[in-house]
Structure 1
């Protein structure tokens, strides 16, 4: 080791790879979250309704879940860096197809393909984040990577509604593809990640036998279903329920993203206090935010304030959840992160499809009420997860 390496190791600096992975998260997040705010414009283009357009989000979720559950073992076999680069290329091609889709069916199909690529990209990103993190700064490093969700909200989703109003929704996907090419350039120096085995890739489903994983995956499912179920329809609630322009969804997404990013400075305290102690508490806080959302649903300024808190609470909860999962079995981290992504996007499907009928019949406040119940399930599951299952407890 050179003197420069020794100084760097002693300082335990956040590695440059974390910032490249942050951009990759932002790319995937822009597609995952942009459809909600622009759904009214997409629906008008295809002469359809918002719930029908949101089936594209459900298709993206199903594709991501299927890919993560069936193919994420390739990460442990070939290396996370290599898998990430190929997945990002496929993802960009699917985004281009989405923007050029001539009909709703083609748009849904393109989003399904984007999901298949994202199902490999996300667990590869989280695996590389865990591998790159210096000892004692795991939460800090992951916080930088998760800041990509803030980038997708602030620089992507919040602008997408404005772009959809001014230039049309197709231009949103064109801009994301261009930004994705820049993100790809940042991955060229990433190593393969870990020690590729070249053996047959294990199924991520085999990681279900890892002690402590079941309650954490249940918590993940409840957490993500509540988020995507509420987020998927908040744009339509602003547009149709409150009579605001589509661009109002952009400002709301901006507030969420700023809240999500504002929590980054607290990540170092997570490493000191221990993820196992904090996870049930953070899930309970998210539930309290949804409870406040039911009271604020009729006021746009009140919703903006609550959504800022929503972003803060979700960042803290997501950070700790991924830390706990990543620490379960370092030798099978790729498979475990594949399970995490699979459950996350099955929850996206369940949230967008299951919350839709409730939204149509009972309105937005009912969605937030259901989310409160789901977060109680998440908090209970996290509390029951054995603390010995993570080295960080």
Structure 2
């Protein structure tokens, strides 16, 4: 498949000459933050939504599951068109659909409409995220790919720190609908900037690659296995650490918010390490990054009964996860540039399937044996990721 040339109408020559990070990278960071906000805000406002729509909290969280299902589905079956139509064009279309879905979410009079709107939002996000990562790899200055992707990934930190923190405040002061209205406005703003940023794609006449055909790309399957094990371990522990703080340590709900904040600061702070990692070589360090995450889970298992230790672990956990995810995306995006959209789609699909499997699979382990056992299981999975990445 021929590679799509994604170039701006007017590319400043200075950026090409001095290797500076182009402004488009920060636009992509904002796009990640918008998607992250929508994926994270429903959980803290679920009680308010349930009261307003006369539904159970479990019923409200079906909307979150619908978002994840839509994201995985579109990442698997729609992102192949990124390579044919272009990543910037697909990103604009995805954000138009995302903004519309968020508007409907804010106005939904019944739970069924909220679920349907979040399903559409997931379909849009499943296309947008691979397009974002594809564009990040395309616009990155030569020799600064790891640093560029690292900046884009800080969008998740923005959504963690700002989205989760502000959503509950907005729901208390105004209404839960104000939360979705604000994220909708952010999505509209991102779409308008994307429409006016001057970057255009050169369409390809090649047919879109079948969803699973990209799996034949040499070296891809071990990296997708590593991605699945890495993400399943994260979501398996992250999904139950809040319950551990409340049940085993007797901490208030705010303690979970503090731990999430500390994790987000570690995740975002790791961007300072991306340039040294770039010099050392992301291709060589990925197995060691996963092994480092496995060691963190073992330390978490040892310190699970101390809130102070868990806070310290959360910071290092966020830092290590940033490095691992960054290196993984750089490795994946460099395997076959002409198939980058399809490969990034498979990465997103693997991520969201792993999130579902990890959350579901770790539940019985946590219920029966507690957080230390879940952390031990996560360590084993992350070692599998390290071994797979070493291949």
Question: What residue in structure 2 maps to residue 249 of structure 1?
Answer: 256
Q: In the alignment, is the contact (CA less than 8 A) between 1:159 and 1:250 conserved in 2?
A: no
Deviations 1:9-38 (A, max 9, x none): 221010110000000001111122334444
Q: In the alignment, is the contact (CA less than 8 A) between 1:220 and 1:343 conserved in 2?
A: yes
Query: What TM-score comes out, normalization by structure 2 length?
Result: 0.88
The alignment yields a C-alpha RMSD, in angstroms, of: 2.6
Deviations 1:60-93 (A, max 9, x none): 2221111011110111111111111111121223
Q: Aligned partners of 2:351 and 2:379: how far apart in 1?
A: 18
Q: In the alignment, is the contact (CA less than 8 A) between 1:80 and 1:192 conserved in 2?
A: no
Q: In the alignment, is the contact (CA less than 8 A) between 1:82 and 1:192 conserved in 2?
A: no
3-state SS, counterpart of residue 204 of structure 1: coil
Selected match of 1:26 from 33, 36, 40: 33
Deviations 1:314-363 (A, max 9, x none): 11001100000000001111111111111111112212333334444444
Selected match of 1:69 from 53, 76, 79: 76
Question: What residue in structure 1 maps to residue 144 of structure 2?
Answer: 137
Q: Aligned partners of 1:246 and 1:101: how far apart in 2?
A: 28
The 1:30–1:5 alpha-carbon spacing in structure 2 relative to 1, beyond 3 Å, is: closer
Query: Does structure 1 residue 9 correspond to structure 2 residue 49?
Result: no
Question: What residue in structure 2 maps to residue 280 of structure 1?
Answer: 287
Question: What residue in structure 1 maps to residue 3 of structure 2?
Answer: none
Query: What TM-score comes out, normalization by structure 1 length?
Result: 0.87
Q: Aligned partners of 1:229 and 1:192: how far apart in 2?
A: 39
Selected match of 1:379 from 375, 380, 386: 386
Deviations 1:166-220 (A, max 9, x none): 5554433232222222322332244565532144322232110110000000000
Selected match of 2:236 from 229, 237, 242: 229
Question: What residue in structure 2 maps to residue 366 of structure 1?
Answer: 373
Query: Does structure 1 residue 290 correspond to structure 2 residue 305?
Result: no
- Count residues with an aligned counterpart: 380
How many Å apart are 1:59 and its aligned residue? Answer: 2.7
Question: What residue in structure 2 maps to residue 185 of structure 1?
Answer: 192
Gaps of 5+ in 1: 385-393
The 1:27–1:239 alpha-carbon spacing in structure 2 relative to 1, beyond 3 Å, is: farther
Question: What residue in structure 2 maps to residue 390 of structure 1?
Answer: none
Gaps of 5+ in 2: 1-10
Q: In the alignment, is the contact (CA less than 8 A) between 1:158 and 1:252 conserved in 2?
A: no
Selected match of 2:338 from 331, 352, 359: 331
Question: What residue in structure 2 maps to residue 387 of structure 1?
Answer: none
Deviations 1:120-147 (A, max 9, x none): 0001101111110111111111111111
How many Å apart are 1:41 and its aligned residue? Answer: 5.5
Question: What residue in structure 2 maps to residue 48 of structure 1?
Answer: 56
Question: What residue in structure 2 maps to residue 118 of structure 1?
Answer: 125
How many Å apart are 1:101 and its aligned residue? Answer: 4.4
Q: In the alignment, is the contact (CA less than 8 A) between 2:286 and 2:327 conserved in 1?
A: yes
The 1:208–1:122 alpha-carbon spacing in structure 2 relative to 1, beyond 3 Å, is: same
